[in-house]
Amino acid sequence: MDARQIKALASEWHGVALEDAAAERLSVMTAAMADTLGALAGESLFDTEPAHFDRALVAMAKRDE
């Protein structure tokens, strides 16, 4: 998200008017988190959807370990 989108989101969801500098900092932080978590997501044992998580748990429970 760019700073403009961050400002719009903060205004719409929280009723807060962010200063440009604060919106830019949040934009940089959001991009860094997205990069990090995006890279880790490929290593996950299950997708982020609850159904995938449930299937993974059922599959694990059926193992003879």
CA 6 to CA 21: how far, in whole Å? Answer: 11
Nearest Cα to 8, choosing from 29, 31, 33, 26? 26
Residue 39's pLDDT is 76
CA 32 to CA 24: how far, in whole Å? Answer: 12
What phi-psi label fits residue 15: left (phi over 0), alpha (psi between -120 and 50 degrees) or beta?
left
Question: Model's pTM, two decimal places?
Answer: 0.58
Residue 49's pLDDT is 67
Residue 6's pLDDT is 95
Spans of all domains in the chain? 3-61
CA 27 to CA 34: how far, in whole Å? Answer: 10
**What digits encode the pLDDT tens for the residues 13-64?**
999 999 999 999 999 999 998 888 877 776 766 566 667 777 778 888 877 6
